[in-house]
Structure 1
Amino acid sequence: MKAKLSRLIKTKEPVEPSHVSSPDEVEQQKWIEQGGEILTFEGEWCVRLRTTYPLDEMYHDFAFGDARLMMHRTEHPFFTVDLEPEQVLFMDTETTGLRGSGTSIFLIGFARIQADQLEMIQYVLPHPAFETAFYYHFLQDIGDEVRFVTYNGKSFDWPQIKTRHTFVKSRVKALPSVGHVDLLHAARRLLKPRLESVSLKAVETYFGHGRTDDLPGFLAPMHYFQYVKERNPEILLPVLEHHHADCLSLVSLYTRLSQLVTTPETDFGEERAHWLHDLGEQESALKEFEQLSSPSKRAVMRQAMLLKRTGRMEQAIPLFESLQTIEGYVELAKYAEHKQKDVELAIDYTERAMELLEKKRTVLRQTIVREKDELEHRRARLERKRL
């Protein structure tokens, strides 16, 4: 019996303990199955998702490569970028809220136009405690100098990144040198008179590309918190799709808005003229104003004032007269008094302005009183000159 037991003990193979996957390993495998890449740093990890598109693929009426061409061609100061297209990132973020020190970014992504393709990259923060790995890999990938094309990114996305970077800056590289082309400002300039809202969704709809079955942005934080709780990437897929579409939309919108301000045939002439005026591009603004077939009074006034500033008052006079406004008559009175040395004409223009002031209605009574005082002072001074 002892010999039999001895043989059984000798022949029994040792049992290897089975490997039990950790929760992180299970979650990482799920991300890999979704096409994600697991990036690690100092015991933390994040996810990178990458998709590429050919430059001739169409999106919202434009090929991705059109944005690259526009970067090289545009002379409009707002849309000009001073770096190579590879350093221009069409960037967007998703956050856990819109304000407050507790707000954090859980998704950063950008589209980048390379020589032969458009590259779309998204970084996912799998756990709020893993921000170091999250920002380390994002900053490593974008380089030391970039230009962001965003939609409200100058006021929201980039300041949020800078705020969160302060918590990890001792362990990751410094923030790059950046510049911004914030398309929200362009949309306001060009579309505000036509739209009640200039949200990205509203602008897309205006141009005929309203989204269907898209996750509303305000639901993104709820999806993220549920994902963190259950550690299931599928919960985040609608957010990733929404964010992915936002970034690609920025590429198309950059092309479209650039085209609107550089193509004379479009019906945005007055908006282009006012924008160039505010940017200090006087000659370009004058050309735009001169081409308007039905300019508003504001446009005529600005055109006349530009002509005056550039020493072409003789061309400005008929414009000021056509306005038949207080401001126009005041400018004519100034010119008659100081340049033409015609006191009688200056008095005539001043009295026309005062007649209009009597008919003027405004909620701000102080404005009426101030304007009246100024005109009476001008007339009294002119009357003394006439004596």
Structure 2
Amino acid sequence: MKKSEETLEDFAISYPLDKLAPLEQVLFLDIETTGFTSRTSYLYMIGCAYNRAGKWHTIQWMAEDYAQEGAILTAFFDFARSYKYLVHFNGNNFDLPFISQKCAQLMLPFSFEGFQGIDIYRRISPYKFFLKLPNCKQKTLEQYLGIARTDVFSGGELIGLYHDYVKNPSEFTEKALFLHNADDLKGMLEVLPILAYYDLFNENCVKAKKVQANYYKDMHGAQRKELLITLQIPTPLPKPITASAGNCYFRGEGESATLKVPIYEEELKYFYSNYKDYYYLPTEDVALHKSVAGFVDKEHRLQASAANCYTRKFSCYLPQWDILFTPFFKRDYKSKELFFELTDEMKKNREGFSRYANHVLSMIAATY
């Protein structure tokens, strides 16, 4: 078994890792294999990255032949026992199951019980279209963030290289194998800022710094009204990004962002849920509670139904995609669009606008 250890000098990551877990308890993991199936493939390298005394380090164990799988697994688990959090890239689908299956095949008494896993791929892949990426492979994310690699080989190319190494070991081949895994580990650290987009949609801690109404003219020259919210976002975004959905527009850069939401100035309906307690007055097009409408002539009232048990109100409204604020209004009973009134009280509610901004961002993310 070969072991390689390296201290990453002048190396730092720009993502606040303590958002994931305590730094001294975090271990990054990446493996190299000769195939996708543990039953017919070999595990030939396990690499880890960790932080100690403020510096990043890597440690790698490589099997010099096919019989040393057990040796590198034992070395890894002996080292990892002092850590609690395992960070990996798509490890839930590949690295962890592969290692677990190998331990079972080799009858080794190791498992990931007691570890908490953090899968970078699983966290960022739902936002592939939002980020306008063809996929969320690690190399794709590295290119998106402008990260350059030293390694020139793909994982597939290294399979043949490792088989050659087992038959005829050479210094060049050994360095190439270690380098690829080391670059995977460094790349995993360097792509961590991509998680700022995950934080944006999942931490529910976007803060409204400033809220104002804005007037503009649409493409037909009609005057429109919109809400402009200036936001403070939880984690600095590594690259500027724009997105739109539901007639709302988002632009984020660094630690700040803006959100534009249309303000609808029109008459909407509030539907009463207990319609059996109401009469509908066709002439006035309104529903009144029976305790009041009981004095109305029977010829001018009908038993209310769910579809006509409403009151109408002309005001300024904001859209919502779940019932975030009540009372909620609709254009018609069967309409799926929901609104709430932009009242004078709401205009002064900074915390309420922070909740609303997170609500709109969740809708935008779900659309992509």
TM range (shorter): 0.5 to 0.7
Are 1:296 and 2:242 matched, yes or no? no
Q: Which has the higher helix share?
A: 1
TM-score by length of structure 1 reads 0.55
Contact 1:148 / 1:178 at 8 angstroms: preserved in 2? yes
The answer as to 2:118 corresponding to 1:181 is yes
How far residue 299 of structure 1 moved from its aligned partner, in angstroms, is 7.0
Amino acid aligned to 1:151: F
Contact 1:144 1:176 survives alignment (8 Å): no
**Which residue of the partner structure matches residue 112 of structure 1?**
50
State the partner residue of 1:52: 7
Count of residue correspondences: 249
Contact 1:139 1:175 in 2 (8 A): no
Give the secondary-structure state (helix, strand or coil) at the position aligned to 1:251.
helix
Partner Cα separation in structure 2 for residue 323 and residue 200 of structure 1 = 47
Matching residue's letter, 2:118: V
Taking the aligned partners of 1:229 and 1:345, their CA distance within structure 2 comes to 81
The percent identity for this pair of structures is 19
Q: Secondary structure at the match of 1:162?
A: helix
Taking structure 1 as reference, are residues 226 and 291 closer, same or farther at Cα in structure 2, changes over 3 Å only? same
The structure having more radius of gyration, on CA atoms, is: 1
Runs of at least 4 residues of structure 1 off by over 3 A? 172-176, 189-192, 210-213, 258-262, 284-295, 319-324, 339-342, 344-354
In structure 2, how many angstroms separate the alpha carbons of the residues matched to 1:151 and 1:323? 48
Q: CA RMSD in A?
A: 3.8
**Is residue 194 of structure 2 the alignment partner of residue 257 of structure 1?**
yes
Give the drift of 1:145: 4.3
**Partner amino acid, structure 2, of 1:132:** G
Q: Tell me, yes or no, if structure 1 residue 223 matches structure 2 residue 161.
A: yes
* Deviation of the 1:158 alpha carbon: 0.9
Shift of 1:345: 4.4
Cα distance in 2 for residues equivalent to 1:323 and 1:160:
58
The structural deviation recorded for 1:252 is 1.9
Q: Give the gaps of 5 or more residues in structure 2.
A: 210-227, 232-241, 250-260, 279-286, 288-307, 313-329, 337-368
Rounded Cα–Cα distance in structure 2 between residues aligned with 1:149 and 1:142: 12
Normalised TM-score (structure 2):
0.57
1:160 matches 2:98: yes
Q: Secondary structure at the match of 1:237?
A: helix
Q: Is the 8 A contact 2:147 2:190 kept in 1?
A: no
Alpha-carbon deviation of 1:184?
0.9
Which ranges of structure 1 fall in alignment gaps of 5 or more residues? 1-45, 75-79, 263-271, 301-318, 325-331, 355-387
Determine if contact 2:128/2:134 at 8 Å carries over to the other structure.
Answer: no
CA distance in 2, matches of 1:102, 1:163: 11
Residues of 2 paired with 1:231 and 1:175: CA distance? 32
Q: Measure how far apart 1:168 and its partner are.
A: 3.1
Seen in structure 2, the aligned counterparts of structure 1 residues 253 and 111 have a Cα distance that, compared at 3 Å, is same
Which structure shows the higher strand fraction?
Answer: 2
Please state whether the residue corresponding to 2:92 is helix, strand or coil. Answer: helix
Amino acid at match of 1:52: T
Q: Distance in 2 between matches of 1:296 and 1:128?
A: 53
Residue 291 of structure 1 deviates from its aligned partner by 5.1
